[in-house]
Amino acid sequence: MREFLIRRSILAIPTVIGVTLLVFIVMRIAPGDVAIMILTGGGTTDSLDAAQLARVRAELGLDKPLHLQYVEWVWGMMRLDFGRSLWNNLSIWDMVVQRAPLSMQLSLMSIFFAVMLGVPVGVTAALRQDTLWDYVGRSISIGALAMPNFWLALLLMMLLVHVFKWSPPLGYNPLWERPFDNLSQFIWPALITGFSGSAIIARMARSATLEVMREDYVRTARAKGLAERIVVMRHVLRNAMIPVITIVSLSLAGVITGSVIMETIFTIPGLGLLLIDSLRLRDFPVVMFMVTLVALSFIVINLLTDVLYTVVDPRMRLQ
């Protein structure tokens, strides 16, 4: 196990370097200049003074060669110095730590709803193959795949505003202080994201369950006279969940990136909204750190998924 973790960590280094280099290049070739935006406030550049612009760029370190900017940024992250925002000079780490609990809560609630809906629907559809339950389950999955998250969110927002006179609150209400207000703010985006994520989980759970049910050891268990409930719980589900775990891990990583849309629509001041604001303001250090953080989350989630395989099926060994 230890050798596996060390080897995977070493292999992740080129991936992280590639991601940092790619996002650095993309942010540098993107149109817009944060120094101009700071001086003009997003207005016209007619009265912009060249000397003042050069001074601001020098203060922000944007006058240095690009390769030096990249090396300084990477070296700072290696020393756990993630830099400061170019727009408001706040510590990037403090900004992320302040907003991370909101995005984590939204992601965990979304994946919870996705699993709680997707796995039962998929398993039930497989156990009741070619019946009404199967057709309904597959119809729900296809509908969830066909409807985009942002479209469902906008429809739900219009329904809540026009019918129930409810609008998402501004700011953030901690769960441990005002649980009702907190859940009323997070429940809707989590349900929408979870509903979309449940489609792939349900389809994988159905396919995996059908495949396992045709195995010889399942027929042998039934021939021994075991009750159908024991056959399903002990022999079918445990083996069918291995590919489902992979899909759930990928869904969790997708939920982290997909929270950008939900946080924007429902005005949740999390990491997604921070990323959108930083892109709009051309705040390069914040955007680069956020994208790198997402890449690291994908790597960690995939690593934990490989470890979880051995828990579900002890016959699997990490190599």
Q: For 117-168, how does the pLDDT look when each residue is reduced to its tens digit (9 = 90+)? A: 888 888 888 888 888 888 888 888 888 888 888 888 888 888 888 887 777 6
What is this structure's pTM? 0.77
In the chain, which residue ranges form alpha helices assigned H by DSSP? 2-29, 34-40, 50-60, 66-78, 92-127, 132-146, 149-162, 179-213, 216-223, 228-230, 237-265, 271-280, 284-312
Domain end among 12, 47, 78: 78
Structure tokens at 97: 């730590």
Let me know whether 112 and 66 are in one domain: no
Q: Based on the number of CB atoms within 10 Å of its own CB, is 176 exposed (0-12), middle (13-18) or buried (19 or more)?
A: exposed
Q: Is 90 within the bounds of a domain? A: no
The rounded distance, in Å, linking the Cα atoms of 99 and 172 is: 10
In the chain, the N- to C-terminal Cα span, in Å, equals 8
232 secondary structure, DSSP code:
I
Instruction: Map tokens 């859940």 to a residue.
Output: 183
Q: Is 144 within the bounds of a domain? A: yes
pLDDT of residue 190: 87
3-class SS at 160? helix
pLDDT of residue 196: 82
Structure tokens at 224: 């021994």
Let me know whether 299 and 248 are in one domain: yes
Let me know whether 187 and 241 are in one domain: yes
Phi and psi for 171 in degrees, rounded to 5?
85, -155
pLDDT of residue 235: 78
Q: Is 135 within the bounds of a domain? A: yes
Q: Is 200 within the bounds of a domain? A: yes
With a cut of 70, which residues of the chain have pLDDT below it? Answer: 1, 4, 32-33, 40-48, 168-171, 253-254, 256-258, 309-319
Q: How many domains are contained in the chain?
A: 2
Let me know whether 65 and 107 are in one domain: no
Let me know whether 122 and 244 are in one domain: yes
pLDDT of residue 146: 83
Let me know whether 32 and 107 are in one domain: no
Q: Is 163 within the bounds of a domain? A: yes
Q: Is 83 within the bounds of a domain? A: no
Among 254, 248, 262, smallest CA distance to 117 is for 248
pLDDT of residue 7: 75
The rounded distance, in Å, linking the Cα atoms of 310 and 242 is: 10
pLDDT of residue 253: 67
Q: Is 57 within the bounds of a domain? A: yes
pLDDT of residue 312: 64
Range of the domain at 29: 2-78
- Contact yes or no for 154/234 (Cβ under 8 A): no
Q: Is 85 within the bounds of a domain? A: no
Among 113, 112, 134, smallest CA distance to 123 is for 134
Let me know whether 112 and 239 are in one domain: yes
Domain end among 78, 108, 135: 78
